[in-house]
């Protein structure tokens, strides 16, 4: 089992790049929009365009490419399984190999390559969002974007608070998990050997102490909030005030231009 300190989830890399300085609302909306328009790509030219655009954004963020490759690693088996399904079950074009109901065809290889690139690009853009945006700023962006839902009495402020707390304690829970794993290893537990069932069984001793620690942290946090007189609601002021800048407008124009090029390159 990979060590938890190599996980990308919840990690933020401080920086002063153009991507870091973008409003978190802009980055969040642009990320979702980018993931949506990836499905417009249907040929090599359009996927090459998306790949080049992604690499340019990574270069502008000044974050090492190794972090993005590390984000792909936990998903590699799911990606390869999906690609294999596309290769063996998509018919059409020239048949290179067949055995019973399994076959490798020209269309199957093409679709498999497109699915692989689509997965990688989605993981890259999601990783770019988390690496260049502080978790609390991301939660503030979600709250700001959900403000219209207050009209139908959706508790936006409370939902944002829950998201902020969850994002804030992801690193803490990872540290707790690492400590518990080290304690279990000292008692002879091996988390990296055996078949899938045995590895899942080895994880069970982690769950109970991790749940106990989580409830303890939640109780301490609730006590601290009560002691400080916390009251939720829409009338609370904020220390971090989100404002759009000229760079956010530029980012929106770039995404619109990227969409136009994708539509132009579609077969």
Confidence of residue 55 (pLDDT cuts 50, 70, 90): very high
d(CA 178, CA 181): 5
DSSP 75-120: GHHHHHHHHHHHHHH---S-EEEEETTEEEEHHHHHHHHHHHHHHH
DSSP code, position 244: -
pLDDT at 134: 87
Q: pTM higher than 0.85 for the full model?
A: no
Burial 127-155 (b: 16+ CB within 10 A, else e): bbbbbbbebbbbbbbbbbeeeeeeeeeee
> pLDDT per residue over 74-123, tens digit each?
788 888 888 888 888 888 777 787 787 778 888 888 889 999 999 999 99
- Predicted pLDDT at 4: 47
Tokens, residue 81: 């399984």
Q: Confidence class of residue 178 from pLDDT cuts 50, 70 and 90? A: confident
Q: pLDDT for 29-54, tens place per residue?
A: 999 999 999 998 888 999 999 999 99
> Given pLDDT bands bounded at 50, 70 and 90, which one contains residue 210?
confident
Using CA atoms, how far apart are residues 165 and 139, in angstroms rounded to an integer? 9
Q: What is the pLDDT of residues 115-153, one digit of tens each?
A: 999 999 999 999 999 899 988 888 888 888 888 888 888
Between 188 and 49, the higher pLDDT residue: 49
Q: How high is the pLDDT of residue 3?
A: 45
């Amino acid at each position: 089992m990979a060590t938890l300190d190599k996980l990308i989830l919840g990690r933020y890399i401080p920086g002063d790049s153009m991507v870091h300085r973008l409003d978190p609302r802009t980055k969040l909306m642009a990320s979702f929009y980018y993931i949506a328009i990836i499905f417009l790509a249907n040929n090599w030219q359009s996927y090459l365009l998306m790949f080049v655009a992604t690499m340019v954004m990574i270069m502008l963020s000044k974050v090492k490419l190794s972090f993005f490759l590390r984000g792909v690693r936990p998903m590699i088996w799911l990606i390869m399984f999906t690609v294999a399904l596309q290769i063996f079950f998509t018919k059409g074009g020239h048949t290179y190999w067949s055995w019973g109901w399994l076959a490798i065809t020209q269309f199957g290889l093409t679709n498999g390559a497109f699915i692989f690139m689509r997965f990688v690009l989605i993981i890259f853009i999601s990783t770019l969002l988390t690496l260049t945006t502080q978790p609390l700023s991301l939660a503030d962006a979600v709250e700001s974007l959900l403000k219209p839902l207050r009209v139908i009495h959706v508790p936006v402020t409370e939902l944002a608070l829950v998201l902020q707390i969850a994002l804030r304690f992801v690193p803490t829970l990872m540290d707790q998990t690492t400590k518990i794993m080290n304690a279990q290893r000292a008692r002879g537990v091996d988390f990296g050997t055996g078949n899938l069932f045995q590895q899942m069984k080895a994880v069970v001793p982690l769950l109970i102490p991790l749940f106990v620690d989580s409830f303890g942290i939640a109780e301490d946090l609730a006590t601290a909030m009560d002691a400080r007189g916390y009251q939720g609601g829409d009338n609370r002021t904020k220390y971090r005030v989100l404002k759009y800048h000229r760079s956010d407008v530029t980012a929106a124009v770039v995404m619109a231009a990227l969409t136009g090029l994708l539509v132009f390159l579609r077969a």
